[in-house]
Structure 1
């Protein structure tokens, strides 16, 4: 055992000596940590749920005053209320603050000066607590209703890739929003209904969905598919589902 431990220790020391710390310029990460609207580093990073593009919160809010499209890909975020489809990206904001020295301190200083100049009290930091179901008031029929918020970690981001339609199928609209965020409890049937509604498909048209090499059944949930297929079907963190339009088999 002593011989074995000494060999392991020697091997570890040799590996640590041979390791080199690779330093990369910050400019190499600019496409991932800078806002394309103001060309500055993300402040209050906010992501559009329809296409997953991220911007500064103030930048995207101001942009939506004059347009309902994403500044990067021009997808329609929402016909009338684009602010409904944006979410704060706290993880990305934490990464930006860690990568860019003094950025967080400068932002806090600007905020303090803003409130001092206007004689306003500094807002207290929001404490993040575990989300609980919100119970609504009792209705006249003594029926209790509860609204539950799905934790972000239970959501799954999908990329729906259209592979084509069978001959004889031509009357359909293109899928303008291939990126969607849904609950992991959603099934393939829910995804199919989403595709049918967005593409305005005929009831006679059949939608086949494939993940990797597996033809998916209606009852399968997205979280089960993600576990079963693994990283093979993931692309930049998105679960990729290919779908095609076919005519039902005639018996």
Structure 2
């Protein structure tokens, strides 16, 4: 049985912090030659006078080192998810910066670059946010019930103990709800006998019991 393990953010800091400024990654950018990551402004400023990685001394590029760095949005999303308040504080800092300069003097960038993206739009939501999801019985479950009825194991005149239909059903749950609690809820709601195991899948992949709905939203394709 899987158990939830709590990890302190300080244990992850070496993977989330920039070696140049000592802060959490902002606009995480990775050197393609060695895969070390830094804040975008930090590494761009550093490479103006250096051609080697500040962590491992590998040569970034002989003449144009900026050609060998790439934005790492996945890493940045992880940092924003793990560090409470970081995204909100960064967006406020950017809004304050642009408010201090006339628009005519500052090139117009994306909404996120200008700090005009809300946490909900960026994908970082609070744990008490309500998530809408659709559920349905897996096709194997439907076939098993059909076969059981045809073989005479169930009375054809009586409904199945937990009829798998009709079609999709919809739920609204807190983002912090775990798959384990969702399975328990479905067992009670659908009157599933204790001899049956309730398992929650995404497509054909079983979900870990300790996943929250917010975790699933980050791991799998999901839209608001």
| TM bin (shorter chain) | 0.3 to 0.5
Structure with the largest fraction of strand? 1
What's the TM-score, normalizing by structure 2?
A: 0.46
